[in-house]
Amino acid sequence: MSIGMAYAYLAVAIVTEIIATGILPATDGFRKLKPSIIAILGYVICWYCFGMCLTQIGLGIAYATWGAIGTAATPIIGYFAYQQRTTKIGIFALVLIMVCVVLLNLYG
């Protein structure tokens, strides 16, 4: 597998994890069938793709990238889908996380 394909797998892992995590509150503790199925399938696809990307991308870089993008996306989903607010310090912390991941990808 090429490095480009590995990053494509990582991108799919990130997107499906964000979808699955974003829909978790709508599952109502897995009592609602449709959102529960979407969440479970999202996590299954996510972990499969994450495992595939690790054949070419180091675990530290892949996990840091995945975690940071998911961490940054989750408050955005919370804001729009569930009317949850993030403080200015929280936003600053998210920016710091993203800067650190960029540095890790460039120099790690």
Per-chain mean pLDDT for the chain = 92
Residue 46's nearest CA partner among 13, 24, 69 is 13
Q: What is the mean pLDDT of residues 23-32?
A: 95
Tens digit of pLDDT for each residue in 68-108? Answer: 889 889 888 988 989 989 899 988 988 898 888 888 878 87
CA count, 13 A, side-chain hemisphere, 105: 16
- Which pTM does this prediction carry? 0.84
Structure tokens at 42: 């999202």
- With 90 as the cut, is the pLDDT of residue 25 above it? yes
